[in-house]
Amino acid sequence: MNVSVVIPVFNASPFIERAVNSAIAHPEVNQIILVEDGSTDNSLEICQRLTALHPCVELHRHPGGANCGAGASRNIGIDHVLQEYTCFLDADDRFTSIRFLNERAVFAQHPDADGVYGATGTVYHDAIGAAAWEKSGLDENTLTTVRKPVPPEALFEYLIDYRPSIHSPGHIHLGALTVKTQALRKFNLRFAEHLVLHQDTAFIWQCAYYLRLYPGKIDCAVAQYILHQQSRFVNHTDLSASRTIFFSYLVRWAKQDGLAKKYLLHFKRLYCRAHKANCSSWQRLRLTLGLLKINPGSFQFFLYGWVVDNIPWLVRLKASCDKRFGFAPRNSAHDKIN
């Protein structure tokens, strides 16, 4: 099993070497692609040193050393992948010792598999990151994961929460996903470069729609998300604007690629939910009724979604009860940071 690891780098000097070493430690990794994104610290110098030290590490930059964002950097990385499998790692995160423990077996057991996903753990780097995380009702034992094995044909609806559930169904963190390079190129799967936030989520959802993704190690961390004072989770509290842009992008994608009407309506409803000003109460009701017409047997699911949209005090009351009695929070860390 030969793997390429794509690592976008921006102002990550305290973390880069640890991230690269966590990838090099795995014999499956034969290529590490660093894409330096116009950092203002000494990240470039560290990348150059790592390239000189390790034959499997290569360095790429944007024209003129410009800062173009994580999405554009990952896309450059995809263009330079040479190995059979591709995975991604943020420069301030790291792989664990079991990163590829299940992948080889899953790909062998399922010849139709295009990708394998696992769980991502959390590590506190400083007190500011820890405080922000715990303020959301999470702790260092929190896993970002799919909470139960899901068949590949059902994964897309599961991830987009098409049938709104009382508790969050779970998520896939980008650092825990391994995909066949050929599959990425067959469907021209790329990162949406205009999305400052949520581009990871958009990419994973699109992979789940086009590809057959199987669960690997979903009950134990195969990668770790490092929480520090510069983490996106810490520095982005009001996400209504970025989620509006994100769901608007998904609506356009659903139209352009001819997704089923039920998914188009679902993304429109999520767009409405991103900010109260995006849609009127009548528009929200019409979307709910449209989804009920397509799926008349899912009344309870869409009724819950309508309550979330229109009676927020009930949702806040339920969240308070969940926290008191130890249920998983509806809005997980993944909702906030990706």
Mind listing the domains of the chain with CATH numbers? 3-235 (3.90.550.10), 240-337 (no CATH)
Pairing state of beta strands 85-88 and 177-180? antiparallel
Chain centroid to CA 242: 15
Q: Please tell me the pTM assigned to this model.
A: 0.86
- The position carrying tokens 């994608």 is 253
Residue whose tokens read 């769980």 = 119
Query: What whole-number distance in Å separates Cα of residue 144 and Cα of residue 48?
Result: 32
CA distance 216 to 109: 11
Q: Are 15 and 41 in contact (CB under 8 A)?
A: no
pLDDT band at 123 (very low <50, low <70, confident <90, very high): confident
Give the mean pLDDT of 265-286: 85
Contact assessment for residue 143 and residue 221, using Cβ atoms and an 8 Å cutoff: yes
Convert the pLDDT of each residue in 183-196 to its tens digit. Answer: 999 999 999 999 98
Residues 6 or more apart whose CB falls under 8 angstroms from that of 163 comprise 157, 295, 298, 301
CB 329 within 8 A of CB 138: yes
The pLDDT of residue 329: 45
Give the tokens for residue 173.
């963190």
> In Å, what is the CA distance from 281 to each residue of 5, 208, 294, 307?
45, 31, 20, 11
Within 163-278, where are the H helices? 181-186, 199-210, 232-235, 240-256, 261-274
pLDDT at 266 over 50: yes
User: Residue 208: is its pLDDT beyond 90?
Assistant: yes
For residue 324, pLDDT over 60 is answered with no
When pLDDT is cut at 50, 70 and 90, the band that residue 304 belongs to is low
User: What three-state secondary structure class fits 42?
Assistant: coil
The Cα angle at residue 73 between residues 67 and 79, in degrees rounded to 5: 140
